[in-house]
Every structure is written in C-alpha cells, then in structure tokens.
Structure 1
Amino acid sequence: MNDSLVLGLGGTVDYEIVWDSAVLEGLVREYDIRAAELSTAVAVSTERDLVVTLLAFVRDGVGGERFVVSSEIVETFAARFTRAITLGGTCVRAAIAMRALGVVCTLHLVSIDDHVRRLLPEGCAYMCSAEQDTTDPHLIVQFAEGVRVQAGDIDLRSPHPNRIIYANDPPNRELVISDELGPALRRASVFMVAGFNVIQDEEVLEDRLARIRTDIAELPAGALVFYEDSGFHVPGLNLRVRDRLVDVIDVFSMNEDELQAYVERPVDLLDADDVLRALDELAAIVPASTTVVHTKYWSLARGVRADEVRAGLVGGITMASTRYVVGDGFTADDYARVATLPVHPGGARVAETLESAGPRGGAVPALVCVPALVLDVDLPTTVGLGDTFVGGFIAALARGGLA
C-alpha cells in the first residue's frame, strides 16, 4: 500500500454500453422522434429525452455530461445494450491507470457497493464517507467516427469519435468528506482533488470547500496538491472553487474544453500565438501557482513548478494515449509500446514555439509543453482520458521521486 499518494474525492459505478445503431433506430421509431427535435439542451426526464440528446451529441460529434432525473432511466436504457460494468470518477480511473505501472495509492470515496469492492485496483486502500451501500450508475456511451443512425426522417453520421455520460448520483452531489481524510493527509506527498463539479447546491459546495481547506492544512511541508477541473453541472460554481482553493493548490489542471470555457472563446490548439493569448487570459481568471492544460495535440505546464513536472506531462500523455489505443486493462508493456509512437507534428510545432517564446523567470512564467502522440486506431476508447492523464501524471512524478 502507498499512503503517500491520496486521491479523491469520489468514484462511480459505470455502465459502459456497446454501441448498437439498430437499437437506437428502434427507439427512434418507438418514440416517433423527429430530426428537428434533436438537441443537447433538452432536460433528461424520460428515456425518450435521453435518446433525443444522445443523437444530438452524435450528430455534432461532441461529448458531454448530462444529469438525468432518476437512475431508473439509466438502468432501462442500458439494459437494451451489451454492457460492461466498470468504475469511474477521476480519482478511481487515475488509480486504475497508476496500478498498471505498479503505483498504488489511497482513495477517498463517497459511495460503496459490491461492484466497487470487486473492481478497485489491487493494493489500493480506501476510506469512504458512505454509511450504507448504494448504486447509482453512470451511463457511458462511446461512439466511433462515422457511426450512422437512420430512422424516420433522421439520417446522421458522427463526424468525430466521442463519449457522453448520463447520471443521477446523490452521493457525489453531496460529496460528504470522511473524517479519515485529514489524518491520512498527514503522511501524504500528493493529494489529488476532483469531484466538486457534480455539486449543485451552493451551501453544500461552500461547506465542502471549507472542509477540504482544513484537511489540506494537514499535509506535510512540500506536499503537492493537484486539482483536476471538470465541466460543472451548475455554471459559475467553478469560480467558487477557484476563489476558495486557488491559493492552496500547487497544480491547477484542466483539459481543452475547460480552457475554452474559462476564456469564453474557441482556441486554435495548433496556433501557438492563439494558445499563448489564451494562457494569458486564463492566468487573469485563474491565478494558479502552476497551471496544467492537457489537449489532444499537446500538454503544458505554466508557472512556478512547470520545469519540475515535465515528466508528469510525458507520463500523462503516454498513459492517456495508451487507454485511447488499448482501452481497459492495458499493461505496463502497452504503456512502453505506446511511448515509442511518433509525436504529433502539429503539437510538436506548438510545443517548440511556446517553449522558445520568451525568457524564463521574472515576469514571464516558466512554460513547458510536450507534444501528444500520433494515435491511429479504428475503435478508440474515448471515456476517461482526462482521468487517465491524471493517473499518468502522478505516477510519473511518484516513480521519479518528485512526489
């Protein structure tokens, strides 16, 4: 067991369905769904609503996360497909990725059941704030580029591979913090925080943020606090998290979608000048000590600890790429093989330009950028890539002795 790496704050039970256009086409006919109805903005109160939103996501080739009014909707829809039961949540998927390299950790969970006990990675300890077993599954729908749904007046093909998540998860919305967390952090060298994005009540969020600040104060000197941002179910609450925690976070990490949400504009990820402008805009909004941004073309760190975490960026890219190519159950050998793939040429150009953009130190923060890899696979795994990046990042730091 490794009690020096503590990852929180909540995990999930996931139903990962196998894509089947015929099932969806049958539902289009059963519910008499029309092309004009397709929208990602529809509130998901019924299975019909779920299908309407899902097809809109597929049509546009984009991913997302949607709230459903009850877990029964998820159960009903998932039962129509071949499915696998897996574990999700940033901390748990990160731990699973780390375990592939022999790195174990301690997890903080807010829900527990027999699926969780059976599937948690071997050697990882856990604490849990739940007082009883519950199961509130997250529906994970992955689709490949070019999948087609044709029924009634609907005829669509997905322009890009992606994934959608549907869930109603009260334990993660409440995100109760275990009394065991503070004492555990007294021995930790890394504390990874994620999960505030699911909270919908402002008072609950304020209480949990105050509690986490208290627990973070238990960390020994020199410990690293890593925060992974996510799409918030209630817009604007991400700024509450920023305001309460930015001064105690060492690494404030996000993906390209969250970057663009903060700066409120599209960012051309292959244009180094546009990326640098976006980073300057982001720094004015999120004044973090060190910011990490991970994207499909490159990953970067900017700030006080940027030079220290280059190995983390490489590890994160390699780990997420391995999951994208291999899927669940990848091994250390898979990781080593993927690490030898060629770098993305566009990402390499951006990385070179950004790293040579100016002097280090003084008013110009240090910036380290690592290109992503060229990944050519017919059936990629698109779920959990950000979580897996986090696992690769922390594992690389732990193996290198920084964490």
Structure 2
Amino acid sequence: MTSPVVLGLGGCVDYELKLSSSILEQLVGEYQIHEAELTSSVTVTDERELVISILTYLRKGGGGEHFVASSECLSAFAGRFPTRTTLGGTSVRAAMEMSRLGVPSTLHLVSLNDIVRRLLPASCDYICSGDQDTLYPHLIVQYDQDMRVRAGDIDIRAPFPNRLIYVNDPANESMLLSDELGSLLHDARVFLISGFNAVRDQRTLDLRLSTLRSHMRQLPAEAIVYYEDAGFHEPGLSQRVHDALLEVIDVYGLNEDELQSHLGDAVNLLSVTEVARALASLRALIPVKTLVVHTKYWSAAFGERAGEYADPLNEGILIASTRYCHGDGYTDHDYERMRNRPRRTEAVEFAAALEGHMGGVVRCLPGFDLDVAAPTTIGLGDAFVGGFLAAVSRSS
C-alpha cells in the first residue's frame, strides 16, 4: 500500500443537518434564552449552551468548530432535525474530492467503522491507528443566508451562509499515530497534516507532535507538506503545533475565520490595504514558506514561491465552488460548467489590486459569481484542500 499522496491525520463520521427557524425559536422559548447571552464560548456543556453558541455564530454569519462536553446533547439536538450521515475530517473530505479528480490517496485514520468502509471511495486506501471499531459522530450544522430567528427579545438574521462543527470524539482527541505512518511517507510526494485542533491535552499533543516529526524523517526531501488550520478546541494549544511543525511545513492553509481568529480582529476581505496588512501580520505570526488563505471572495498564496501555486489555487476554488452549488452529488458536467462561470466582479478587481500592491510575493485568484438559493456550506475548505493538493500532486 503506497501512494504519492498521504492525507492525515484523523477522520470521522458526520451527522449533517440544516437549521430551521421554527425549531430554533421553539428552543429559545423552552430554554428562556435572551439576546444578552449571545456571546462566544469555547466549550459547550448542554443543549442550552449549544443553542446559544449556534445563535451567536448565526448573528454574524460566522463558522467555527467547538468541543462539546456531552455527546448526549449532540444526539438530542440532532434528533430534532432530519440528518444526513457522511464522512468528515479535512483529510477524508479532501481524499474524496481528489478521488473525483482521478487522484488516488492513502489516508491515516484514527477511527474506523462500517460507515467509513462503506462510504470511502475505492481509490482511497487507508491505515488506522485504532485497534477496534469506534464511532464518535460530529454534528455539522449549516444555515442559509438571511435565515431569521425571532423569539423573546432575540431578532437576528444571518448575513452569510455558513457551517458549524460540534465535536465529542475521544479518538480524534487522542490522535494516536499508527506505527505504519513513517513507511507510508517514504515514497510520498504530498503529505497533508490536519486534525491536531481536536487534541485538548497538552502532554498528549506534545507526544503526538514528537512522534509525527519522527515519522516525517522518512519523507523525501522534495515532498510538499501542507498543513490545514482549523478551530482548536483548546485555542492555547495552537502555538504548540506551530512551534513543533512550522520548519517542516511548505504550505500553511486556513480560511477567513481562522485568519481573523489568529489576528484577533475583523478584516474587510475586499480592502486591499486591510488584507495586505493582515497577510503581513499573519506571516509574522506563522513564518512558513507559503501561506494560503481561502475565502468566499478569493484565495491567495503569500510567499516567495506564491506564483507556483496559481493552478492549485484555481483548482481549489473550482472544486469548492462546485460543491457549494451542487453539494456531494455534483457531476462531472457540473464541474466542467463551473470552469466557464464568470468570476465575481469585485473579487476580480480586488485580486488584481492586491497583486499590484504587494508584488510577486502574492498570487490571488478571484472566486466565481455564485447565486444559489440553498448552497452547501459544509466541507468547502476541505474541498478546496482536495482540489489544491490534486493540482500539486500532478505537478510534483
């Protein structure tokens, strides 16, 4: 079992649902939730706090990921809505998108069960660090733009569509690494690192990072290592991952929510001066060879080799946009039609202006002009990573 593309480090089963105003309004009434309570919280311990967390994000149109102390409250909330069972985790979703593009890969998993075996494409091989089947579903909540919730003193409307992730997953929290990982990396040309955001214990994280570095010594010198950021369940641990891995990462990817989280401030994504300042500040915090930021308006590479990543950026945008419009069920025809859609006018102007302002260290590509009544907001960043790495693997 060898593949030039190795994708890790975790994976999961997702329960996907789309919010409805009526159920949220009912819950606001049942739990006597007030507008003043809609403030950000890192963890969620019961269904009332879960509803508050969702409403807080919905009000600003944001996305995020959170640890939930009670798996029972996830099940209780999911039981109020129709749900879809899918596979999740950045590495797994990226592998599935790459499979559609004809690029096989090998996954490193920490949890395995019959759902994973049934839903993984045949072109995706895998190893798993777990010695028995486990199932810890993640709750993935999506909402549409302009969704409105009115109950009591709460009256909010979502300015953008987005998705939220709520997790209670001991397997990903432990992130045990398989002894086979090093030999798997021996012939790899591309290696994706993701999933450390789920680890909540510092000692466990430090041990896993040290073990990973040992495995990575078997990577060929020319291999491209891509790290995809995510919302850390314990935000203070993010820096430990940076300290351990930055020197061995070639490309560091993140979305607009993670960009603004690192900077601790909102960024106008169509302001050249604000984005240029944000990229420079982010590079000072995360000094890697190449930063990749993917947003709803544009995607950009920032670094001395930024120009080499134009095709991967474009493929990432193309795949994520096709998923946004058509969901899991998109066809080859949908994908080819997306290529010919016009780009967003304001994004085209922004991308040209940003490159003109920052010079050759930035390559910025505009997103497509997409007007969809009920878009898919789940897995867009993962789809971007899959498209990006498919293009990288073809050129490496």
Instruction: Answer yes or no: is the 8 Å Cα contact 2:43–2:233 preserved in 1.
Output: no
Look up the match of 1:74: 74
Residue 44 of structure 2 aligns to a residue in which SS?
A: coil
Look up the match of 2:395: 402
Look up the match of 1:278: 278
Look up the match of 1:363: none
Shift in Å at residue 358 of structure 1?
A: 5.7
Note the alpha carbon deviations across 1:17-64, whole angstroms, 9 max, x for none.
133333233333333333333333284222222122222222332222
The question of 1:345 aligning with 2:338 is answered no
Residue 236 of structure 1 aligns to a residue in which SS?
A: helix
User: Which residues of 2 match residues 230-379 of structure 1 at below 5 A?
Assistant: 230-357=230-357, 360=360, 366-379=361-374
Instruction: Answer yes or no: is the 8 Å Cα contact 2:276–2:358 preserved in 1.
Output: no
Moved more, 268-277 or 243-252: 268-277
Residue 141 of structure 2 aligns to a residue in which SS?
A: strand
Shift in Å at residue 188 of structure 1?
A: 0.8
Look up the match of 1:168: 168
Shift in Å at residue 86 of structure 1?
A: 0.6
Look up the match of 1:385: 380
Runs of 4+ aligned residues of structure 1 deviating over 4 Å after TM superposition are none
Look up the match of 2:20: 20
Count residues with an aligned counterpart: 396
Q: CA RMSD in A?
A: 1.8
Change (3 A) 1:155 1:351: closer
The question of 1:96 aligning with 2:96 is answered yes
CA–CA separation in structure 2 for the residues paired with 1:368 and 1:359: 9
Change (3 A) 1:212 1:22: same
Residue 234 of structure 2 aligns to a residue in which SS?
A: coil
Q: Tell me the TM-score normalized by structure 2.
A: 0.95
User: Which residues of 2 match residues 147-226 of structure 1 at below 5 A?
Assistant: 147-226=147-226
Equivalent AA in structure 2 for residue 6 of structure 1: V
Equivalent AA in structure 1 for residue 64 of structure 2: G
CA–CA separation in structure 1 for the residues paired with 2:325 and 2:137: 25
CA–CA separation in structure 2 for the residues paired with 1:211 and 1:286: 22
Equivalent AA in structure 2 for residue 323 of structure 1: R
Note the alpha carbon deviations across 1:357-396, whole angstroms, 9 max, x for none.
3664xxxxx3211111111101111111111100010112
Shift in Å at residue 315 of structure 1?
A: 0.4
Structure with a larger share of its residues in helix? 2
Look up the match of 1:31: 31
Change (3 A) 1:156 1:270: closer
Equivalent AA in structure 2 for residue 130 of structure 1: G
Residue 328 of structure 1 aligns to a residue in which SS?
A: helix
Change (3 A) 1:21 1:264: closer
Change (3 A) 1:46 1:250: same
The question of 1:130 aligning with 2:123 is answered no
Instruction: Answer yes or no: is the 8 Å Cα contact 2:42–2:66 preserved in 1.
Output: no
Equivalent AA in structure 2 for residue 107 of structure 1: L
CA–CA separation in structure 1 for the residues paired with 2:337 and 2:252: 29
Instruction: Answer yes or no: is the 8 Å Cα contact 2:5–2:105 preserved in 1.
Output: yes
Instruction: Answer yes or no: is the 8 Å Cα contact 2:25–2:151 preserved in 1.
Output: yes
Shift in Å at residue 88 of structure 1?
A: 0.7
Equivalent AA in structure 1 for residue 365 of structure 2: V
Unaligned runs of at least 5 residues, structure 1: 361-365
Change (3 A) 1:69 1:350: same
Change (3 A) 1:302 1:148: closer
Instruction: Answer yes or no: is the 8 Å Cα contact 2:192–2:228 preserved in 1.
Output: yes
Instruction: Answer yes or no: is the 8 Å Cα contact 1:291–1:302 preserved in 2.
Output: yes
Residue 135 of structure 1 aligns to a residue in which SS?
A: coil
Residue 390 of structure 1 aligns to a residue in which SS?
A: helix
Instruction: Answer yes or no: is the 8 Å Cα contact 1:148–1:158 preserved in 2.
Output: yes
Note the alpha carbon deviations across 1:208-236, whole angstroms, 9 max, x for none.
11111111111112111111111212223
Note the alpha carbon deviations across 1:275-298, whole angstroms, 9 max, x for none.
222222222211101111111111
Residue 327 of structure 1 aligns to a residue in which SS?
A: helix
Look up the match of 2:44: 44
